[in-house]
Each structure stands twice: as C-alpha cells, then as structure tokens.
Amino acid sequence: MYHLKIKQYVNHKLTHRCGAFIVAALLLMLPRIALAQGLNMAPNVTYTPQQVIGIVLNSMQKNADDNEGIATVFRFASPDNKLVTGPLSRFTQMIKRGYPEMLNHTSARLEDIDLAGDVALQAVWLQTQSGTEYGYQFKLSIQRGGTHDGMWMTDSVIPIGKNTGVRI
C-alpha cells in the first residue's frame, strides 16, 4: 500500500511538472506559431525585445502582396515612431522605397543585443536573394503610459551598412 501511494505521488508530480514545462514552451513559441499561421500579431507585455525583433523580421521576410507583414511591423512601431512614419499607407511606401532589402530577405544574422534599462539596441544583418547583406540598427523601448504601457516597441531602424564580400 505504501509503495502504491509513493508511485501515485511521483506520477502526479511528474505529470504536473511536464504539464508546466509544456505550457512554458508553448508560451515561448506563441509568437512564432502565430506568425507562421499568418495571424495578426500585436504588441503584448509578455514579448521580450528579442521576440519583438523576431516578429518584425519574420513579418518583413514573409510580406506578401497584401502587405500584412508591413502592417504587422507598423503595429509594433512605438507611438512616437508612428507620429513620424504613419499612417500605415505612408509607412508601407517608406518600407518599399527606403528599406526594400528587408522585404523577403533570405536570412537574418543578429549580433548581441544591448539592453540598458528601458532601451534595447540590436544590430541585424539581412541577406538578400542576391547574397548581399544589409545591416540595420534596431532601437526598441518599453512604452510608459497609454495603451501600450509596459510593451517593447520599435522606435527606429537605421541602416548601418552593406556587405558584399565574404564573411570570415
């Protein structure tokens, strides 16, 4: 009888821990799963700056004729960013004319992220179908107040260079 109770207790604990692990893994994968399914992504207090950058990059890479990828990127632009780049129609034209290398890139290489309080800086290198790499500096910040309070959002994306040579 004693061994049966121990076995039931152990099975209960293992099941509970496995369930908690599965829930945690799913929460970490939600942004990627939702994007892969083409769901409308929007800022959320649970997203880290790395996840926001991943959502933005995946949205740009998978942008289609309906420009839903660009619309997703615009949703993750901070309110101050939107004041300068919006509305969405203007933002779409800005991306297509000023940042065309970001659209439908083949791969992304991210350098170490620099986190300092409420600000995150991330250098990203995107490879185009021609094999050329274009670098961009992402600046994100946690929003304070308003409808996006506590959410990481993109303040700016600045071109930092072009690499046509071979990396060592």
What tokens were used for 74?
């615009």
What value does the mean pLDDT take over residues 116-135?
96
What value does the mean pLDDT take over residues 89-111?
97
pLDDT at res. 60: 97
Binned at pLDDT 50, 70 and 90, residue 8 comes out as low
Phi, psi of 9 (to 5 degrees): -65, -45
**Calpha distance 63→14 (Å, rounded):** 42
Kindly report, residue by residue over 10-46, the tens digit of the pLDDT. Answer: 555 555 555 444 544 444 455 555 445 445 799 999 9
What value does the mean pLDDT take over residues 105-117?
97
pLDDT at res. 25: 45
pLDDT over 80 (residue 66): yes
Give the start-to-end residue ranges of the domains of the chain. 40-163
Residues 6+ apart with CB under 8 A from 18: none
Binned at pLDDT 50, 70 and 90, residue 9 comes out as low
pLDDT over 60 (residue 89): yes
Q: Tell me the average pLDDT of the chain.
A: 85
Look up the CATH number of domain 40-163.
3.10.450.100
What value does the mean pLDDT take over residues 83-88?
98
